């Protein structure tokens, strides 16, 4: 009798443990990283022209995305260039693009591209506006 009780107790304990492990949800990310750049942002994008009195001419900021590289820059500074890019969708109309920045010894940098209208995007580099501390607006149109 004592053996039957201990056997029943062991079977019950094992079955409860099995049910507990099967009922536990696993913490898996639903986002998938894809190689390259999203086809929706590929191409050349410009801001509107802004006249700079210090330079004496008007210029615009640009964003160019190719299949495995992204470059974003403006007249008065060196552009931010990412190569070997990979991306994921982070919102309904937003993409996060990561890649190695050769100017920073290959350190991984991030650009976020958000669509705000038909043919209009905003670009953020490592969480900051791409045109911060410049006269250019952070609103790019497709060329």
Domain boundaries, the chain: 34-142
Q: Which of 127, 124, 126 is nearest to 138 (CA)?
A: 124
pLDDT of 11 = 75
List average pLDDT for each run of 10 residues in the chain, which is 143 residues long.
Answer: 66 63 54 90 94 83 95 83 95 94 89 94 92 87 94
Q: CA gyration radius for the chain?
A: 26
How far is the C-alpha of 61 from the C-alpha of 45, rounded, in Å?
8
pLDDT of 14 = 66
Sort 95 into a burial class: Cβ within 10 Å, 0-12 / 13-18 / 19+: buried
Helix or strand or coil: residue 20? helix
Q: Which of 89, 65, 91, 94 is nearest to 79 (CA)?
A: 65
| pTM beyond 0.85, yes or no | no
Give, as one character, the DSSP assignment of residue 19: H
How far is the C-alpha of 83 from the C-alpha of 36, rounded, in Å?
9
pLDDT of 108 = 93
């Amino acid at each position: 009798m004592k053996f039957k009780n201990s056997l029943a107790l062991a079977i019950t304990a094992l079955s409860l443990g099995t049910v507990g492990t099967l009922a536990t949800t696993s913490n898996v990310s639903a986002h998938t990283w894809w190689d390259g750049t999203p086809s929706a942002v590929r191409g050349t994008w410009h801001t509107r022209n802004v006249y700079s009195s210090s330079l004496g001419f008007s210029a615009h900021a640009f964003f160019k995305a190719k299949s495995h590289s992204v470059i974003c820059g403006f007249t008065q500074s060196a552009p931010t260039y990412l190569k070997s890019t990979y991306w994921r969708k982070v919102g309904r109309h937003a993409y996060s693009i990561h890649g190695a920045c050769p100017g920073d010894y290959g350190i991984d940098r991030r650009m976020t591209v958000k669509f705000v209208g038909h043919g209009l995007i905003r670009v953020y580099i490592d969480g900051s506006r791409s045109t911060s501390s410049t006269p250019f607006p952070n609103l790019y149109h497709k060329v």
